[in-house]
Amino acid sequence: MTRWSWRPILGACLLSMASLGAADQGLAGQRLFYLRQTLGDDGNDGRSPATAWRSLSKLDKALEAGDTAYVGPGLYRDAVFLRNSGTEEAPIRILGDPSGRHTGDPPGVVLIAGADPVDESVFDEALELARELVRSIRQGEDLLATPPTASASTSD
């Protein structure tokens, strides 16, 4: 029967917890940035949850090798085009924070759409045509019949 000692396991657990704490606080030389959809302001410096940015595009020039950005819950309609590169030893990390643990936000979905809101009025004409089609179907009109052309109706 093999006997297990709890001391090496406890040591490994404490080491893992210390590593997690270091990642939360930032490693030496690592900078942390924060984005918050609801409370962020692009006039801030983005370096703490209290001074978070609102737009992903603020990360474009800011992030350098070894930096981490936490993105709080919300819908982000812009994109990130990084100007700097990370390395294998010091990657650039952009991490969604759906729990709000890092940003201080309530839990929620982090959604990056990369698109502007759509002006729904562009669909008004198509909606009216669809309604007209439905009315025609309900009235029993033959939708496959060819509508008369202007020359055919004047030749009677």
Structural domain boundaries enclosing 32 = 23-141
In a domain? residue 147: no
Total number of domains in the chain: 1
Write phi, then psi, for 120 (nearest 5 degrees).
-65, -15
In Å, what is the CA distance from 100 to each residue of 26, 80, 108, 110, 134? 17, 21, 8, 10, 47
Determine the distance from the C-alpha atom of residue 127 to the mean position of all C-alpha atoms in its chain, rounded to a whole number.
30
Residue 138 is predicted with a pLDDT of: 82
Per-residue pLDDT band for 3 (boundaries 50, 70, 90) equals very low
- 3 state DSSP class of 33: strand
In a domain? residue 17: no
How many angstroms separate the CA atoms of 110 and 55, rounded? 13
Cβ within 8 Å of residue 57, ≥6 positions away: 78, 79, 80, 81
Q: Between β-strands 74-76 and 93-96, what pairing exists: parallel, antiparallel or unpaired?
A: unpaired
Residue 19 is predicted with a pLDDT of: 32
Do residues 92 and 63 make contact, with C-beta atoms less than 8 angstroms apart? Answer: yes
Tokens of 3: 């006997």
In a domain? residue 100: yes
155 has pLDDT over 90: no
pTM for the model stands at 0.60
